[in-house]
Amino acid sequence: MSLSEIQSRIAKAESAAGRPSGATKLIAVSKRQADDVVETVLKESHRLFGENQVQEAAGKWPTFRETYPDAKVHLLGPLQTNKARQAIGLFDAIHSLDRPKLAKTLARLAQEEGSCPDLFIQVNTGEEEQKSGVLLADVDDFATECRALDLPVVGLMCIPPAHEEPSLHFALLAKLASRNGLAGLSMGMSGDYERAVALGATHVRVGSAIFGARDY
C-alpha cells in the first residue's frame, strides 16, 4: 500500500470518529528496511519515522539527516540504560519508557544534556510475561514518579497481544491516559491502525503496510 493511501485511510477514520483531521500522526516504521526504500518515503516529503533499535538507528539516521535535517525519528523498541545517552542524542521521542531505573537514568542524563526527547510510557495492557511495559496496576504510580522526576512524559503506548481484539486494549490505554492527564496515545500498527484512530490514537506506528515485509 502506498504512503498516500494509508494517509487517506487515517483521514477517513479520523472523520468517521468525529476527530479533527490531522489529529493522528503517522510514524513510518523503517526498522530493517533497505535505505533506498526509506529514502523513497523521505522523497515523498514524509518526515516522521520509527526505529526499534538504537544501534540500527545510529547507523542510518545521521546520514539521512544530512540530506533531510527535519526528519524526526522515534524509538519504539526497548531501551537499555547503557544506551540511554545515545538515545537522547538520536531520537525525538522514546515510546518505551517502562521501568523506574530507566526513568531515573533518563532524568539524570536529561539534566546533563540539557534536553530530553518526548516520552511515552509503555503499558503491558495484555499483562504478557514476555512483553515489556508497565503492568496495569502500576501505571498511575509510575506516571506520578516520572512527573516527580520532571520527565517530559506526553502519553502512553501499547502493543496488544497478537491474538486478541486490539480495540479492547486501545480503549483501555485511552482510559489510563485520560486518568493520568496524558494526551498522547501511541497505538495501532499495520493491521489495526484504523481501529486505533477510531479510539483516539495520536500516533500510529505503521511499518510493513508502507514498506513491505521486513527481513527477519
Ligand X SMILES: *Cc1c(COP(=O)(O)O)cnc(C)c1O
- Minimal distance in Å, beta carbon 18 to ligand X? 25
- Minimal distance in Å, beta carbon 31 to ligand X? 6
Looking at the Cβ atoms of 109 and 206, the one nearer to ligand X is 206
Residue 162: Cβ within 10 Å count? 9
Of positions 29, 79, 106, 123, contacts ligand X by CB under 6 A: 29
The length of the chain, given as a count of residues? 216
Residues 60-79 that bind ligand X (CB under 6 A): 76-77
Strand intervals (E) in the chain: 25-29, 48-51, 72-75, 93-97, 118-123, 153-158, 184-186, 203-206
30 binds ligand X (CB under 6 A): no
Q: Measuring CA to CA, which residue among 197, 193, 200 is closest to residue 176?
A: 200
Of positions 41, 54, 94, 206, contacts ligand X by CB under 6 A: 206
152 binds ligand X (CB under 6 A): no
Residues in the interface with ligand X (CB under 6 A) total 13
Q: How far apart are CA 157 and CA 173, in angstroms?
A: 8
Q: How far is CA 12 from CA 18, 28, 77, 146, in A?
A: 10, 18, 29, 35
Of positions 159, 174, 177, 196, contacts ligand X by CB under 6 A: 159
Binding span for ligand X by CB under 6 A among 18-26, 110-118, 171-179, 204-212: 204-212
155 binds ligand X (CB under 6 A): no
Q: How far apart are CA 2 and CA 139, in angstroms?
A: 36
CB of 87 closer than 8 Å to CB of 123: no
31 binds ligand X (CB under 6 A): yes
Binding span for ligand X by CB under 6 A among 97-105, 107-115, 126-134, 201-209: 201-209
- Minimal distance in Å, beta carbon 76 to ligand X? 4
Residues 90-129 that bind ligand X (CB under 6 A): none
Q: How far apart are CA 53 and CA 49, in angstroms?
A: 13
CB of 106 closer than 8 Å to CB of 84: yes
Looking at the Cβ atoms of 95 and 151, the one nearer to ligand X is 95
